[in-house]
Amino acid sequence: MGNIEIDKFKEECGVFGIYSKSGLDVAAVSYYGLYALQHRGQESAGIVVSDGKSLMCHKNMGLVADVFNEKTLKNMKGKAAIGHVRYSTTGESKVENAQPLLSKFKLGSIAIAHNGNLINADVIRELLEDAGVLFQTSIDSEVILNLIARKAKKGLEQAIVDTVQAIKGSYAMIMITEEKLIGLRDPNGIRPMCIGKIGEDYILCSESCALDAVGAEFLRDVKPGEIVIIDDDGLKSIEFAEKTRCMTCAFEYIYFARPDSSIDGINVYTSRIAAGEELYREAPIDADIVVGVPDSGIAAAVGYAKASGIPYGIGLIKNKYVGRTFITPSQKLRERAVSVKLNALKVNVDGKRVVLIDDSIVRGTTSKRLVEILRRAGAKEVHFRVSSPVVKYPCYFGIDTPYRNELVGSQRTVDEIRDFIGADSLGYLSIKGLLNTLKGKEGFCLGCFNGEYPMSAPIENFKDYLER
């Protein structure tokens, strides 16, 4: 089967931060928080702890549970910590690019963990290099650290406010200094971030599921264009951007976020069930069983079954033990139909007309394989339904997307995609249908569906800014 996940958009990162006045074990809390955010990145993990005098960092390639052990965490004592799990969209996959990034400058030390993508990072990097700044990594976060360092004489808060005026793109960012935990979210709120509390201790993180995992209560989402500063005096908020409009990435609800998270007032699981119901209204079909592609298509399949009255059943079984180091079968073995990640549950699909629900189709190669697997298990008909609109455009905001010519939806009509994947019929949710399921807030980034992005791609006037 090769890698079933290869045909999905990849989320870039997850971030977590805690500031504790009560003496919580901040490294351990961060570990469990990152563990709950592991779905956002499986390439590297790291934690930086502040003990009030200095910052200590531990990071490496691999999953959270591989990078940290009890001994490492016991040695990381402090009152505040930030953590990061990474899937690279900018910068190569190597340990130098693992986050958080730690830097020393005039005001002391600062570390940063970033989820998102700056669309003008290359321009700023070039200008900083022209001004004599040396870079150790190839990632956006170092550009931000260097901008803050250049403005340091104004004091940390002003340096951060000045820096966010210069950067363009998507970011949910958490920083730590000796005395402060700082969170910021871009003026369009494309990537998510929320605030939680354990007693009087504060937490910032990418998704609310991480708050649940560490026993914290959800306070609120960080607002678009907001800087949150947490220290011994509590929480202070600075709104650095005028005319903000929360344009959360729609793919957070469709695929990236864990179903037990709520983002910007919308529960992820509820929105996926609603997408399945809406999908039936838009693309009904007569069939015997509704099957979801594990794990991301399951909630929508439950919704489709509910709306259609066709029974929901398990038709595909996932092998949970295929790790990142898994050896992909050779082409020759693949042709022999070596199924590694998913297998059909023959007893449920044999002789049946199957509705197969997935959350998205990116390249189409996996969809094609899934249809083949079901047919081989005896499915009489396979009707493919997708609980999101046709993906036609790449993303510039911190999602690893293929080039446009590799997106099956940018090259082909729905009928041509149906022929390519070998299904009896194919139906997608419309953009209007998607927005109907995301009730409770206005504004989403739908760039990968309609080519309309919350901000245009780069770039002007950074030279002026750097010389000010």
Show binding-site residues. Answer: 249, 296, 358-359, 395, 445, 448
State how far the alpha carbon of 360 is from the alpha carbons of 82, 251, 349, 366, 392, in Å: 32, 9, 22, 11, 11
Confirm whether 13 is a catalytic residue.
yes
Whole-number Å distance between alpha carbons of 102 and 57: 7
Q: Give the annotated binding-site residues for [4Fe-4S] cluster.
A: 249, 395, 445, 448
Residue 153 neighbours by CB distance under 10 Å: 10
Cβ-Cβ contacts under 8 Å for 26 (sequence gap 6 or more) = 18, 20, 49, 76, 78, 79, 80, 81
Whole-number Å distance between alpha carbons of 92 and 102: 18
* 72-97 core/surface letters (b: 16 or more CB in 10 A; e: else): ebeebebbbbbbbbbbbbbbeeeeeb
Choosing from 13, 194, 205, 246, the catalytic residue is 13
Specify whether the backbone of 311 is left (phi greater than 0), alpha (psi in -120 to 50) or beta: beta
* Chain CA centroid to CA 160, Å: 24
DSSP three-state, residue 434:
helix
Cβ-Cβ contacts under 8 Å for 183 (sequence gap 6 or more) = 17, 172, 173, 174, 175, 193, 195, 204, 222, 227, 228, 230
Whole-number Å distance between alpha carbons of 348 and 323: 27
Q: Do β-strands 101-105 and 342-344 pair in parallel, antiparallel, or remain unpaired?
A: unpaired
Active site residues: 13
